[in-house]
Amino acid sequence: MTIFYTDDVSNGEGIRVCFKLLKRWKGSLYKLLWIDLLVYLLLYYGLNLSYRFAMGESQKETFEKIVQHCQSAIRDIPISFLLGFFVSGIVSRWFLIFPTIPWLNQVSMTIVSHLDSKDEIMCRNIRIALARYLNLSWILLMRNLSDQAANRFSDKEEVQQLIRRPPLVWMKTRRTRLNRNVQRPWTGGGEGKPKIAPSSSTAVPTADDSTGDRQNVRYSVTSMLIPCSAEAGKFEYMHAFHAYDDQVLTNTLRAFNDDTKVKQTFGILITENEIAAFQNIASDFYRRNKTKYVPEYWIPIQWAQRLTLKALQKGYIFELKRANEILKELMRFRDKLQYVQLFSSIVIPLAYTQVVTIAVYSYFLCQIFASQFVEHKDDAPGRIDLYVPVFNIFSFIFLMGWYKVALCVVNPFGDDDEDFQINDILDYNLEVSYRTVDVPSFAFPDRLSFPLRKGDGGSHIEELDSFLECVCNEAQCNVAKTELWTKCVQQE
């Protein structure tokens, strides 16, 4: 997320504001540019020293002609025009993506307001299950889009491989990097599209076909479940889902329950029964597509819809329109997740980014030559030979910094300082959704903690009347005390 600095400029204290802003390192311009500026200065002084001490007269004449040509050519590169449109488009996209990230406040409040009747304990369990499914759906999507979420909920197989590596290698590669070319909404839950060689064993009649009756033939799908190592010549994707009980998928989903924040709130995010459901989906997906299955975010939302309908059927939701409101809110939540997926899948055109990149680096390469001090016989006296190209450094900081800002926010789901803090948003969603749907009785004032439609209506009316009477009496008493205090002050 953007580094907060507004407290430093809240008072507008002139020169002190400048120092407060410039002293920061995290998210600063210096952190983005110091390597590029170092390379720029090394190239500049390398040419400068070569011209002064290493070149002969003929080489100096050639170098002077190159400098003159670069001084005239640098004016033809529309660097400000290209950077202006590029940065404006990327920053606008950055601001548009963030509102699409779904938060669980509204859907949790909707669940609580419509699911609070009959059996208090059962309603609480249903609410927690619904909130758990929504958080699971959120995580399943974000771990495919965000580097932070992917590192937090990484595949257990990858983690074990990293742990077995030497310590230095582990420190460099501990972050999980996503291949976003395969994390698109139209990939259908699979990773890429591997090439499958034709095989006659895909549908092989079994021994029951001895009678020749084609209607009673049972086709064997055993060959579809053979591990890839056994059919390496026919299937190029060697890490695909290859069995009905693929351990990698199971361990990855089980690892969701090991998260600290999950343990502090829901205790568990996905049960063994739900993991088995994903296994069945993965097995069916592999039989049809022969690609590795990636758990899809909309599956838990389907479970939440089914649970809502069952709660309506059993009477825990006492009106059809209340169940309809919950279903509508679930669909809105699902739409927001899809919007996030679509936004992350459609990026700035590569050709446009390449044009700007070539323009920026060619401009500063040309500037390195154009800013060199060369000796001319017809030079006017008093020309200054600056050993430090101050204004060229300023130009580099302004324009290259402009370009680096765009690169920082082009992928807001990465690990840069200006990227969205997906882990913090997830922690907030887990905490708020659990506390909202838990609805403990101590969270309400006295005489207001009873659930809806519990027992007969008469007792509810009496409790409500008692609560309102208590509130009104306390308010009137406070008003009377205020009036009495005002009169005493006036008399004094």
The predicted pLDDT at position 264 comes to: 93
Instruction: Identify the helix (H) or strand (E) that includes residue 76.
Output: none
Residue (of 256, 308, 199) closest to 426 by Cα position: 256
Residue with tokens 């591997």, as numbered in its chain: 194
Residue with tokens 């890429």, as numbered in its chain: 192
Please state, in angstroms and rounded to a whole number, the distance separating the CA atoms of residues 195 and 197: 7
Residue (of 126, 139, 337) closest to 253 by Cα position: 139
Instruction: Identify the helix (H) or strand (E) that includes residue 131.
Output: helix 120-145
For residue 48, CA distances in Å to 41, 66, 89, 202, 368 come to 10, 13, 38, 70, 9
Q: What is the pLDDT of residues 170-199, one digit of tens each?
A: 344 445 556 555 555 655 555 544 444 344
The predicted pLDDT at position 14 comes to: 63
Q: Is 56 exposed, middle or buried (0-12, 13-18, 19+ CB in 10 A)?
A: exposed
DSSP letter, residue 50:
I
Phi, psi of 190 (to 5 degrees): -105, 160
Please state, in angstroms and rounded to a whole number, the distance separating the CA atoms of residues 102 and 297: 13
Residue (of 312, 291, 308, 288) closest to 300 by Cα position: 308
The predicted pLDDT at position 242 comes to: 45
Q: What is the pTM of this model?
A: 0.74
The predicted pLDDT at position 10 comes to: 59
Q: What is the dihedral of CA 188, 193, 198, 200, to 10 degrees?
A: -40
Q: Is 483 exposed, middle or buried (0-12, 13-18, 19+ CB in 10 A)?
A: exposed
Residue (of 239, 252, 245) closest to 140 by Cα position: 252
The predicted pLDDT at position 176 comes to: 54
Residues of the chain with confidence (pLDDT) below 50: 159, 162-164, 167-174, 192-244, 455-456
Looking at the DSSP bridge assignments, the partners of residue 293 are 190
Q: Per-residue DSSP letters for 176-206?
A: ----TTS--GGGTTBSS---B---TTSSEE-
Q: Which amino acid, residue 162?
A: L
The predicted pLDDT at position 104 comes to: 95
Token pair in block for residue 207: 């021994």
Work out the number of other CB atoms within 10 angstroms of the CB of residue 177. 11
The predicted pLDDT at position 447 comes to: 63
